[in-house]
Amino acid sequence: MFDFLEGYDVLGAFWMTVKLTVLSAVGSLIWGTLLAGMRVSPVPLMRGFGTAYVNIVRNIPLTVIIVFTSLGLADIFGVTMGAADNFDVQGFRLAVLGFTAYTAAFVCEAIRSGINTVPLGQAEAARAIGLNFSQTLRLIVLPQAFRAVINPLANVLIALTKNTTVAAAIGVAEAAALMKTMIENEAQTLAIGAVFAFGFVVLTLPTGLFLGWLAKRLAVKR
Amino acid sequence: MKLRKVTAASAAVLALALSATACGGDSKDDSGSSSSGGGGGKIKIGIKFDQPGLGLKEPDGSYAGFDVDVATYVAKQLGYSADKIEWVETKSADRENALSRGDVKLIAATYSINDERKKKVDFAGPYLLAHQDLLIKKDSKISEATDLNGEKLCSVTGSTSAQNVKDDFAPKAQLKQYGGYSECIAGLQSGAVDAVTTDDSILAGFASQDKYKGQFKLAGLKLSNENYGIGVKKDDTATLNKVNAALTKMVSDGSWQKAVDKNFGPAGYKNEPAPKVGVIVK
């Protein structure tokens, strides 16, 4: 029944999906946290930049961003992410760059909502004992904010996992690209589609369950 | 209380929407069955909407291309004049299902005949023999397949052409893959890639677009044989025979050659002689 799977590296393709997801997740968590810091900072210029970035990037379709990294950045501006001689590596790095830029906007908003759950008194108390803005954010506010937004961040992570399929548009050999290849060769749209849908459920369902459990354990009870 | 009102209202809207779509589905079925009986009804034909030279939906809503011309001719032989044809977009991945569901009666959409597909649908024709080829810049030095090693090549993600390059012709070539051929052609124009590869008929269609005229040429390598057939629902032998007869007639009365000249002319595309119905060039 599953003989159409023979000769295809399905696991390899999903491994590529995992790599894209993990690297982009780490990147967007860092960049998103920085953006959230900017959006609540006392410096108007930084606040303005953070707001503009989030509102612009999250409203551009992801496909446009990913295709732009390849057609615009690489082909026209010559940004090759240190892999000018290898299109496969180049495509992968550009895709991670695109996913990071896009997902960070959503991570930023999740974290900012977490910051809003931290009572104002916490920040005032931190100021009172002489901490400056970045110390207040780093030591007092963000640790509490993160514990409050594990569930929203899990949603962002699951969305990111599925979004990685867009990388097929610039030829990164992840799951959706292999699915296209297989459908082209085997003419079994439904069965192949089901296999890949199942693969994504296997990837995302445990993520959701684990992070949901973690969110319950770590939530700050107020 | 307020919430309940909203729920009730939305349920009503939902019910209305569902019944409306149900009606739509029914009437669609009716027209489908009447058209299969021939005569006054419409015929639904699947084509590509995004392939210049073969099947293209123009901004003004009309359709143009070689596949369109062939399908129009065939439909005429089946008893449907041009205004009785309803064009349906059939993307590559959806072609088999569109036929087996009965969404379309025929598919003329750069549909290469191969064994896997023959298990699912029947093919009339072939009506065109295409070859995998390269589109290169006018002044490019690529002249044979081995020149490709070390060059930068572009094709569409998952396409047979992209796989062929990787497996057979030039394993050492750098292969860039995009979602569509337009992106590849843009890369060729900007110099990011050295060549674009797919069927020569498709490449010729892109190269003869006004905005690219005179910039590109075909390398003429004939890297594979692609026999384009017209897809018909499995075991619909009556239609299959009629389509085959129509294709034979189209070649013999000269309409076939006229359609080739009209659609592929400007790119310097040297077409193969019209294929004989039932003869598949491996």
pLDDT at A187 over 80: no
Structure ipTM: 0.73
* pLDDT given for residue A104 in this prediction: 97
* pLDDT given for residue B7 in this prediction: 59
Is A181 within 8 Å of chain B by CB? yes
**Is A207 in contact with A157 (CB distance < 8 Å)?**
yes
Over residues A188-206, the pLDDT tens digits come to: 888 899 999 999 999 999 9
**Is B73 in contact with B11 (CB distance < 8 Å)?**
no
CA distance linking residue A57 with residue A98, whole number of Å: 10
CA distance linking residue A20 with residue A160, whole number of Å: 9
* Residues recorded for chain A: 222
Answer yes or no: do B96 and A185 touch at CB < 8 A. no
Answer yes or no: do A189 and B187 touch at CB < 8 A. no
**Is A157 in contact with A25 (CB distance < 8 Å)?**
yes
DSSP class of residue A6 equals: T
Nearest residue on chain A to B111, alpha-carbon basis: A184
**Contact list, B149 vs chain A (CB under 8 Å):** none
Chain B contact probe: residue of A3, A4, A5, A75 with most B CBs at under 10 A: A75
Identify which of B97, B160, B186 has the shortest CB distance to residue A189: B97
Answer yes or no: do A171 and B93 touch at CB < 8 A. no
Both tokens assigned to B181: 């051929």
Over residues A143-181, the pLDDT tens digits come to: 999 999 999 999 999 999 999 999 998 889 899 999 988
Over residues B157-191, the pLDDT tens digits come to: 878 888 887 787 777 888 888 888 888 888 898 88
**Is B127 in contact with B278 (CB distance < 8 Å)?**
no
At a CB cut-off of 8 Å and minimum separation 6, what does A12 contact? A173
What is this structure's pTM? 0.78
Is A55 within 8 Å of chain B by CB? no
CA distance linking residue A170 with residue A87, whole number of Å: 10
**Alpha carbon of B143 to those of B70, B116, B208, B217: distances in Å?**
32, 32, 21, 11
- Assign A8 to helix, strand or coil: coil
* pLDDT given for residue B29 in this prediction: 40
Chain A contact probe: residue of B176, B190, B194 with most A CBs at under 10 A: B176
Both tokens assigned to B107: 């598919």
DSSP class of residue B157 equals: T
**Is B138 in contact with A51 (CB distance < 8 Å)?**
no
Give B197 to chain A, closest Cα distance, Å.
14
Answer yes or no: do B97 and A181 touch at CB < 8 A. no
